[in-house]
């Protein structure tokens, strides 16, 4: 048994005891109540889920297992994954064992490439990515062990095997489909000894193999890794997984939600919008031009992509991390400069609308400009990179949910008639 399984096994015993005690002491305590507007309004603010991998206080942003993202931006995705799963950053030995295990599971079966090659040439990269994950479902260790009659207490073990297998393969799938979809030449094979960030960069293409792009990739994979349990992709993934659909079914389903413009696709939408803006004014726009374009967008009934958030009420620390990266490496890049200037203008304009609860930028407002600078210009691809990172949190959440014997997720819906009756009742 390698370190992570031993460590998790012990921790899971403790967590189960702790949860039992909590249920005995506080099972009937109220965590949240639900108003009619919350029921009609996407359940915003209803506290009805447990997620221990990370939390997002509205005035602080992402905290992973008790550590603020700001303190983790120099860590590697492998370290962050260990942290998400176990609640602790790995020791040197633990990291070495865990990383070796990930490295040994990189190989993507040929049938995945065969299917991707036969997809329509204009398929969205997220469709290709999610298809690849779904096709891999036949590899699920969970499904095999479930069919063989594994006990509920042990569900987390094959879920962890699926999780590590998925994490190990996603950079190759993501990079391979990039080369296929955008005619970049042959797929590049994984390097057995490279870490997740290094191998992803290597497999994207020679032109990306620089130290700075490696640093950006590492930051990208760390910063997008998790964002508590209630966002669309996390909730969808955990709901699917609660039916004991394995992780391949679960995360491909969750990523279909990530592919929406109000969620992960906002990074694509944001850069597209910025390039339209620059195209209209022929370069880096002035402050007045920025204001005009923002107002035009809002007047046409569209949202400003990369701004606003369902939970946050401050500038997203993930945005700040990417902004700082750009300021350090290429402050004068025209697209990045436009992103920085929009940060001065957009919140002021959104505040004027009086309905936007959070006028500040979220993670998706800056990332596109950084990738664009390094030549990764195919913005329909950006959400795939988001998904590679987010798979760390989503798979870790599922391992914990199975470890803690969480039941089927099944909230109760009411009809509009029920609400009307509520109005008429005393
Ligand atoms: N531009 C224009 N209007 C906005 C806005 C924005 N960036 N953000 C919120 N609003 C509007 C909403 O559309 C809503 O209008 P309506 O009442 O006419 O429907 C009103 O302000 C109130 O919305 P809210 O309570 O502040 O936000 P929410 O929780 O309903 O939605 C979000 C949150 C992210 C969907 C929204 O801010 C948005 O659409 N932002 C732009 C898309 C985006 O960047 N998404 C990425 C989020 C991060 C992520 O998941 N990757």
- Phi and psi at residue 64, in whole multiples of 5°? -100, 115
Distance 297 CA to ligand 1 centre (A): 14
At residue 128's C-alpha, the angle toward residues 316 and 336, to 5°, is 35
Ligand 1 contact, 362 CB (< 6 A): yes
Q: Which of 202, 224, 227, 309 is catalytic?
A: 309
Distance 307 CA to ligand 1 centre (A): 7
Ligand 1 contact, 342 CB (< 6 A): no
Mutate to test the pocket of ligand 1, among 308, 357, 384 (most ligand atoms within 8 A of CB): 308
Q: Which of 195, 199, 316, 364 is catalytic?
A: 364
Active site (annotated) includes residue 309: yes
Active site (annotated) includes residue 373: no
> Does position 30 have pLDDT exceeding 80, yes or no?
yes
List, for residues 34-54, the tens digit of each pLDDT value.
999 999 999 999 999 999 999
List, for residues 364-399, the tens digit of each pLDDT value.
999 999 999 999 999 999 999 999 999 999 999 999
Distance 303 CA to ligand 1 centre (A): 7
Distance 300 CA to ligand 1 centre (A): 15
Binned at pLDDT 50, 70 and 90, residue 3 comes out as: confident
Active site (annotated) includes residue 118: no
At residue 283's C-alpha, the angle toward residues 281 and 284, to 5°, is 100
With a pLDDT cut of 70, the percent of the chain lying above it is 99
Q: How many CA atoms lie within 13 A of 44 on its CB side?
A: 10
Report the C-alpha gap between 396 and 401 in whole angstroms. 9
Give the 3-state secondary structure percentages of the chain, helix then strand then coil, rounded to 5: 65, 0, 35
> Does position 426 have pLDDT exceeding 80, yes or no?
no
Q: Is 270 left (phi over 0), alpha (psi -120 to 50) or beta?
A: alpha
* Predicted local distance difference test score (pLDDT) of residue 2: 56
Return the bridge partners of 55, or none. 63
Binned at pLDDT 50, 70 and 90, residue 326 comes out as: very high
Q: Could you tell me which of 290, 254, 102 has the C-alpha nearest to residue 190?
A: 102
Ligand 1 contact, 143 CB (< 6 A): no
List, for residues 173-183, the tens digit of each pLDDT value.
999 999 999 99
List, for residues 218-264, the tens digit of each pLDDT value.
999 999 999 999 999 999 999 999 999 999 999 999 999 999 999 99
Q: Which residues contact 307 (CB under 8 A, 6 or more apart)?
A: 346, 347, 350, 356, 359, 360, 361, 362, 365
Report the C-alpha gap between 258 and 249 in whole angstroms. 14
List, for residues 125-161, the tens digit of each pLDDT value.
999 999 999 999 999 999 999 999 999 999 999 999 9
> Does position 315 have pLDDT exceeding 70, yes or no?
yes
* Predicted local distance difference test score (pLDDT) of residue 295: 98
* Predicted local distance difference test score (pLDDT) of residue 1: 45
Distance 308 CA to ligand 1 centre (A): 5
SS (H, E, C) 316-384: CHHHHHHHHHHHHHCCCCHHHHHHHHHHHHHHHHHHHHCCCCCCCECHHHCHHHHHHHCCCCCHHHHHH
């Amino acid at each position: 048994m390698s370190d992570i399984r031993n460590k998790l096994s012990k921790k899971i015993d403790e967590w189960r005891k702790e949860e039992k005690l909590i249920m005995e002491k506080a099972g009937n305590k109220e965590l949240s109540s639900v108003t009619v507007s919350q029921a009609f309004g996407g359940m915003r603010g209803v506290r009805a889920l447990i997620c221990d991998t990370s939390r997002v206080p509205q005035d602080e942003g992402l905290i992973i297992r008790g550590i603020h993202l700001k303190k983790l931006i120099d860590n590697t995705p492998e370290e962050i994954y260990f942290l998400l799963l176990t609640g602790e950053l790995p020791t040197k030995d633990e990291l070495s064992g865990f990383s070796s295990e990930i490295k040994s599971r990189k190989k993507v079966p040929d049938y995945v490439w065969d299917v991707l090659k036969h997809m329509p040439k204009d398929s969205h990269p997220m469709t290709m990515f999610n298809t690849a994950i779904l096709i891999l479902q036949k590899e699920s260790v969970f499904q095999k062990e479930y069919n063989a009659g594994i006990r509920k207490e042990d569900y987390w073990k094959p879920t962890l095997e699926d999780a590590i297998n998925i994490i190990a393969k996603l950079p190759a799938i993501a990079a391979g489909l990039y080369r296929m979809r955008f005619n970049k030449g042959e797929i590049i094979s994984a390097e057995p000894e490279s870490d997740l960030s290094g191998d992803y960069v290597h497999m994207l293409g020679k032109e990306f193999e620089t130290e700075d792009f490696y640093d950006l990739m590492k930051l990208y994979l760390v910063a997008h890794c998790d964002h508590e349990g209630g966002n669309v992709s996390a909730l969808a993934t955990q709901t699917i997984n609660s039916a004991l659909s394995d992780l391949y079914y679960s995360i491909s389903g969750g990523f279909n939600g990530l592919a929406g413009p109000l969620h992960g696709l906002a990074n694509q939408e944001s850069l597209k919008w910025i390039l339209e803006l620059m195209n209209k004014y022929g370069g880096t726009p002035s402050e007045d031009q920025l204001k005009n374009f923002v107002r035009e967008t809002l007047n046409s009934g569209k949202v400003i992509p990369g701004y606003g958030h369902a939970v946050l009420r401050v500038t997203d620390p993930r945005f700040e991390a990417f902004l700082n990266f750009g300021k350090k490496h290429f402050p004068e890049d025209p697209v990045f400069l436009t992103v920085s200037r929009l940060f001065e203008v957009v919140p002021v304009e959104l505040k004027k609308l009086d309905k936007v609860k959070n006028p500040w930028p979220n993670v998706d407002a800056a990332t596109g400009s950084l990738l664009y600078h390094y030549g990764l210009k195919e913005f329909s691809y950006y959400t795939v990179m988001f998904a590679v990172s987010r798979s760390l949190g989503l798979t870790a959440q599922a391992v914990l949910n199975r470890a803690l014997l969480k039941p089927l997720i099944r909230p109760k819906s009411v009809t509009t008639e029920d609400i009307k009756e509520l109005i008429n009742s005393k």
